[in-house]
């Protein structure tokens, strides 16, 4: 068997939850995903089955596109909607308008510090496990590429929507945090949808509770 299945991951599911669901359907096959989505996030998760698992490294290098709803004026410990509030700051009256002028500074090869709550490892342990236990977590700054970044909507002075096309390893939560800081405030990601990985788009994704559609996911690269 050799399948790449474009799953529309629901919010509240971990990427491993999705893999486990498909593994239950094909217990004799190897199953893996090509790029973690945070539990609160939704959208494209590529699950490779059987011989297609060999394509995971190549798939992970493909550009990724996201839609993010960013809430300004509040920062949470996880930088997303699931964490407790750790900071609040006034939002400048012109913040929404100033975003477009600020976005070019975040395009290209930029330096980014990952969130403390992430699946990255520190001394062999997941950072989110260390952070939940109250242990010291020190994410290291690294280079990522933002290929496209645009303001796609303004819901209010403190809630904006962004469209991002970026490289492997980019944290949209960190981007939202850094953009908010540049605007003189704080922020977190209220909603995150991955709309594309390479040629695989959200419009073509199938549901996690629709196993009858998984057979059509026989799409080799």
CA 177, CA 79: separation in Å to the nearest integer? 7
Per-residue burial over 130-160, b if 16 or more Cβ lie within 10 Å, else e, is: bbeeeeebebeeeebebeebebeeeeeebbb
Per-residue burial over 161-185, b if 16 or more Cβ lie within 10 Å, else e, is: bbebbbeebbbbbbbbbbbbeebeb
Residue 38 catalytic? yes
Of the CA atoms within 13 Å of residue 118, those in its CB half-sphere come to 19
CA 134, CA 132: separation in Å to the nearest integer? 5
Active-site residue, selected from the candidate residues 17, 38, 158, 178: 38
CA 178, CA 199: separation in Å to the nearest integer? 29
Catalytic residues: 38
């Amino acid at each position: 068997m050799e399948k790449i299945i474009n799953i529309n991951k629901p919010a509240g599911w971990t990427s491993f939850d999705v893999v486990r669901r498909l593994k239950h359907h094909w217990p004799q096959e190897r199953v893996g995903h090509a790029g973690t989505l945070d539990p609160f996030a939704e959208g494209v998760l590529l699950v490779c089955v059987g011989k297609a698992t060999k394509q995971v490294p190549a798939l992970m290098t493909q550009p990724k596109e996201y839609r993010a709803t960013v809430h300004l004026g509040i920062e949470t410990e996880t930088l997303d909607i699931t964490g407790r509030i750790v900071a609040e700051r006034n939002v400048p009256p012109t913040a929404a308008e100033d975003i477009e002028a600020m976005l070019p500074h975040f395009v290209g090869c930029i330096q980014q510090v990952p969130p403390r709550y992430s699946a990255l490892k520190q001394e062999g342990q997941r950072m989110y496990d260390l952070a939940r236990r109250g242990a010291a977590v020190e994410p290291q700054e690294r280079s990522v590429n933002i290929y496209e970044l645009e303001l796609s909507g303004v819901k209010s002075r403190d809630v904006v929507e962004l469209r991002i096309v970026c490289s492997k390893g980019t944290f949209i939560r960190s981007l939202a945090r850094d953009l908010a800081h540049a605007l003189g405030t704080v922020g977190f990601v209220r909603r995150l949808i991955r709309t594309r990985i390479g040629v695989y788009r959200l419009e073509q994704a199938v549901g996690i509770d629709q196993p009858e559609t998984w057979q059509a996911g026989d799409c080799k690269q």
